[in-house]
Structure 1
């Protein structure tokens, strides 16, 4: 048996009780044996991106981010939409990866964990990722129709429909990485 493929989960929200984080945590619990999902928890620790700071040595939190991305076989991203766009903190994370050697060509799968089916941020995020030379594993984000802001992992896991949506996304991810 081959080792599971490592997938780094990136949540675009800083909220303590985040629906996007809950979707990623549920995905972690539902992942097939061929995938090992790990959460990245350093979004709030990243300094504001400044190209002048992109030199040796990099801030420790940026080094940790780049190392985590470099060790991952793929990224699974769930990002909310704020004012029809990508949240500033998550865009900051992506800006720190633009000049990295770890990111270009990285396989990425997007989850759209929204009750309303937001699409503005999803389109913007896909464009940013394409510009950064990500390998988007699907032309569209995989929808996970969560009940709304602040839902929990447990609420997702007790929903047959939400689990089925996550399993479809994870199945696609596993097949693409096989």
Structure 2
């Protein structure tokens, strides 16, 4: 069976081979590729919410605190929604999917939000720059990149413990 859903490629008799540390599969070493893919998945949902929140707050002229809170809330909503979207064909009920998304993504989203919002606050002028400003978009890109780089080793450790994104893989279609 070819298993390249998360970019691992190759043939495996066990579709979770190479995903050591998955819930129910025991602990073990997790590759950087698996950790990066899990982090990129989480970052995608976070970035959608983060960008939407920052755009909404900036467009409506909200103060930086309200804009940041909106961005954080939407990052969690979109981060969890993206995970739930990925397991929607698993046959699980909505409540079960919510529990899995919470278990899979909460730690990763928390770290990403602390890092990327923190970066936006410490880069001079980033939060006050308008949506048509290169400073705003450049700062956001740098903040998201740094969040990815810091969160990837955290996710690697969490997945190696059979937690975080590891709990989602068994519910993906085709497994």
Give the structure-1-normalised TM-score: 0.30
Give the structure-2-normalised TM-score: 0.30
Structure number with bigger Rg: 2
